A and B are shown apart, each in its own frame.
Chain A
Amino acid sequence: MAKQKRTIVGSPITPNMLVELDAISKLPPTHGNFNPVGNWTHHYRVWTCHGYRESGNDNVGFLRIERIGSSSETFMLNIHQEIVQNDAITNIINGKITCRNNKLASPAEWKLSSQFEGPDGKIISALSSHNHGVATESVTSTAIDWCLFEAVQRLVFDKQSSLRFDLLEGMYLSKLRHRLFYRGVTPLKMNDRVTPLHCFVQTGSGILPYEYWLDERHRLLAVISMNKAYILDDEAEQIIKREAKEARESYKRKRKQEQ
């Protein structure tokens, strides 16, 4: 069989590159009543790129973030993330974060559970874990990665200001000396339409730069860091659940053949 031709992408992933690589064909419209400080739910499809145009670029999971305003001091974020791995093993994260109503959405209290679902669709209890944390009021310069998805939507598009903080990634891993700043606006060309997108950049230890891409209404459309992207997609959950189901069936067939 002839070896499949593969073309190196060559340039960093941007929203326009996501369109070029068929990772985005449309973006959900931002409704008139969208309010970053209101109650909302965003679904993101998690997409990864192998660095070639023709192959190895896949959806691997989804992230659902629900914001619920609770008081003038705090609000709640409910997190649900599923990452589907080879041989149909899925990692399921559920988190509840009480965030302070400051620029970073600093965590006040959080609970997180990690579970693994096997190819038979059942939870592997031997791999489950739970974490719980509480931060005092003085902890205002710490941000959780998922909370930044909320926080950037409340920031002004201003090149003069930036935020400095330490990152508590996945509510567990400490990554120091991060900075988040506004980069500017870039047109996204898709389906014969041009949409201006605003970009914030996050740099710091333990990560490659994250780019947060927002529309004029401050809704976060995509988060890109090197070869992975979180893409706003109302159908993300259904797409991934369907792909996970197919993966489970494929795995079962494979096991059957092996036996």
Chain B
Amino acid sequence: MNEHTAEKQSGCLINRRDFIKLSSGAVALLADAAVYAGRQDRKPKPKNIVLIFTDQQHIDTIAAGGCYHVRTPALDRLKTSGVSFTQSYTANPVCSPARSAVFTGRTSSECDVYVNGRPIRSEIPNLGQWFSEHTDYETFYAGKWHLPRTYTSNIPGFNVINTGIGGFGYLCDTVMSRACEGFLRNRSKSKPFLLVASFMQPHDICEWLRLNMNNPTGLRYPELASKLPELPDNFEFDSNEPDRIKKTRSGNEPFKGNWNKEQWQYYRWSYYRNIEHVDAEIGRVLSMLEESGHAKDTLIVLTSDHGEGMGHHQMVRKSTLYDEAARVPLLFSWPGHISENRTDTTSLASGLDIMPTLCDFAGIKPPENMRGKSLRSILAGTSTTGNEFVVTEVSSNTGRMVRTKGYKYITYINDSVEQLFDMNNDPGETVNLAANVRYSSILAEHQKILREFESKLDVPSAVPNSDTWRHKI
């Protein structure tokens, strides 16, 4: 062991000591889970787990999923070797809040991560801490964390093998996948691991937007004119939207720069290239899993923190509850244990489901008060009973979305405009049914679901609007 490795392990021990300094209630939970973990679980357990994170990936960006604008051999491999969900939602379409939910199984408001750059509330354990305490997996992390620091060598519960470069995906992801390559090449096959490979791309579209805001006189690369993708079917937007959405849109670069159609198309073309970039880096990790002999024994999960506007509703980036920002890829692969090449178009899934699902695969009880459910039986094809609904938060805890099998309901604090969409007949979310009396009972039903969901949450009083939500609807 070299000195640096020793330092990292020491860092991990410090983190574990910090973790044990939890409130007494949480310590009691630990003890309970430790007993549970000691039981023989009959379900098979993957030798290793790799959780791959992308940043800002629109769900429709995988060639094998039908996106013909991109070449994504790695994502295709993952998709065809396992189960992918098409109705998978982030718990919050903003970086840090979304990540807090994935790594804890608790809502971002419960985690106290209602905006970017906040740490997870200390009494809520993260995935690394929980696995370190209750499993024999060694826990490793590479890449973007953002809770609170974007790139850091100090992540509670994880040995950080690589940090990253502040804010930039291209170089950052290349270096990060090389670190994963080295890790997998050198890792002994006898020692189980949980590795989080957290990529930055296709987030570089944010820099692209700032560097291409001004509407040019012509296409910067006229050679690309015939290759530009068309605009999405739901490019137009309803003028009677909640103010929050209008404000977000008008503050974005396309409106500041008064973009023409070609510039919108060029933006979409550029975003697809960023997808291909991260796909190649993911491919390096997948290839190395195979070359190192780990692949057959490894459960691979891929998701993204949130989606990307891509011109739907003339939006760019994230922070809205429309599907382009709120829906994210969610892929699971474990050859021989998870159905192969199955696209689940009906089950509702959430970032909140990842923590309980991984605990289920690891044969341990998850922390208490999980807001999501294990997807394991759905992945195995032994059950079709999943979530009846999923909830997503947004905008500094001022917005909520409830997605049921048929509808999506969106509401914001201090905004009289609510939104209700028929997701089966209007998946592009173009016709707001909230004010249509024929849908009043459906609206009321969704308000009730949200009210009941909110009543169970344990949101710190310091989180903005923590009380408002309990009484809003």
The closest CB in chain B to the CB of A209 belongs to: B221
Binding site for A on B (CB under 8 A): 2-5, 7, 71, 149-154, 161-168, 170-172, 174-175, 178-179, 181-183, 185-187, 204, 206-214, 216, 220-221, 223-224, 253, 256-257, 270, 273-274, 276-277, 279-281, 283-284
A173 close to chain B: CB less than 8 A: yes
For the complex formed, measure the closest distance between the CB of A205 and the CB atoms of chain B, giving whole angstroms.
5
> B182 and A128: CB pair below 8 A?
yes
A56 close to chain B: CB less than 8 A: yes
For the complex formed, measure the closest distance between the CB of B410 and the CB atoms of chain A, giving whole angstroms.
29
> A173 and B280: CB pair below 8 A?
yes
Q: How far is the CA of A77 from the CA of B2 in the complex (A)?
A: 32
A172 close to chain B: CB less than 8 A: yes
- Taking A87-B163, A125-B186, A228-B170 as contacts, is the C-beta distance between A205 and B214 under 8 angstroms? no
Q: How far is the CA of A205 from the CA of B284 in the complex (A)?
A: 16
Question: What are 23 of the A-B contact pairs (CB < 8 Å)?
Answer: A8-B210, A8-B256, A10-B210, A10-B212, A12-B220, A50-B207, A86-B149, A86-B151, A89-B153, A120-B3, A122-B2, A123-B2, A124-B4, A126-B5, A126-B187, A128-B182, A170-B174, A173-B283, A173-B284, A206-B276, A208-B270, A226-B207, A226-B211
Most buried by B among A12, A51, A119, A251: A51
| CB contact between B211 and one of A49, A61, A120, A123 (< 8 Å): that residue | A49
Q: How far is the CA of A9 from the CA of B216 in the complex (A)?
A: 13
Taking chain A's interface residues, is the majority helix, strand, or loop, or is none over half, making it mixed?
mixed
- Taking A119-B153, A127-B162, A176-B71 as contacts, is the C-beta distance between A228 and B273 under 8 angstroms? no
Complex contacts, B168 vs chain A, CB 8 Å: 48, 50, 60, 227-228
A11 close to chain B: CB less than 8 A: yes
For the complex formed, measure the closest distance between the CB of A159 and the CB atoms of chain B, giving whole angstroms.
11
> B280 and A169: CB pair below 8 A?
yes
What is the total number of residues of chain A having a CB less than 8 Å from a CB of chain B?
58
A212 close to chain B: CB less than 8 A: no
A79 close to chain B: CB less than 8 A: no
> B153 and A207: CB pair below 8 A?
no
Complex contacts, A89 vs chain B, CB 8 Å: 153, 162-163
| CB contact between A129 and one of B162, B178, B206, B280 (< 8 Å): that residue | B178
For the complex formed, measure the closest distance between the CB of A93 and the CB atoms of chain B, giving whole angstroms.
8
| CB contact between A118 and one of B7, B214, B224, B257 (< 8 Å): that residue | B7
| CB contact between A51 and one of B162, B163, B206, B257 (< 8 Å): that residue | B206
For the complex formed, measure the closest distance between the CB of A9 and the CB atoms of chain B, giving whole angstroms.
6
The closest CB in chain B to the CB of A207 belongs to: B273
Complex contacts, B256 vs chain A, CB 8 Å: 8
Complex contacts, A197 vs chain B, CB 8 Å: none
> A83 and B175: CB pair below 8 A?
yes
> B2 and A173: CB pair below 8 A?
no
A91 close to chain B: CB less than 8 A: yes
Complex contacts, B187 vs chain A, CB 8 Å: 126
Q: How far is the CA of A227 from the CA of B284 in the complex (A)?
A: 23
> B178 and A126: CB pair below 8 A?
no
> A13 and B211: CB pair below 8 A?
yes
> B207 and A227: CB pair below 8 A?
yes
| CB contact between B185 and one of A129, A208, A227 (< 8 Å): that residue | A129
